[in-house]
Amino acid sequence: MRNVADAKRPAAVRVLVYSSDADTRSQVMTALGRRPHPGLPPIDYIEVATGPVVLERMDAGGLDLLILDGESAPEGGLGLAKQLKDEIADCPPIVVLTGRPDDAWLANWSRAEAAVPHPIDPIRLTDAVLGVLGNSFAA
């Protein structure tokens, strides 16, 4: 029998992972895994390779977190993050992947909640995601 807390808990955290590079998307999903913390429901990943599809998925709704690659081409994740934060009132939290640690100022400009530099470090990425999600999904 499920208790009240379980009944209110979502079945999964829906995470959009955007990069024009399939290897980068794979690295993000491998680094986080299916369940990066026991207090979170499992993660359902939505892989996206182009900026227009990111916008389509945002219009469809139902996303809990976006991880956007700032090194993507032709549309970088930093510009997309800025556009989404400027245009969507209740935009889900965003973690951006930057080319290097010194690019943190670009992440601030983009209004992303967190930034993680390439190469992707599983611990840094997991800490950033858990920090951004906060208690939203805690049991």
Element (H, E) at 66: strand 65-69
Measured between alpha carbons, how far is 137 from 134 in angstroms, rounded to an integer? Answer: 8
β-bridge partners, 97: 69, 116
Tell me the pTM. Answer: 0.91
3-state SS, residue 118: coil
The tokens for 137 are: 């999904």
Q: Three-state SS string across 1-49, please?
A: CCCHHHHHCCCCEEEEEECCCHHHHHHHHHHHCCCCCCCCCCEEEEEEC
Measured between alpha carbons, how far is 129 from 106 in angstroms, rounded to an integer? Answer: 18
Each residue's pLDDT, cut to its tens digit, for the chain (139 residues) gives 444 444 455 689 999 999 999 999 999 999 999 999 998 999 999 999 999 999 999 999 999 999 999 999 999 999 999 999 999 999 999 999 999 888 888 889 999 999 999 999 999 999 999 999 986 765 4
CATH number given to 14-133: 3.40.50.2300
Q: Which residue has the tokens 């995470």?
A: 15
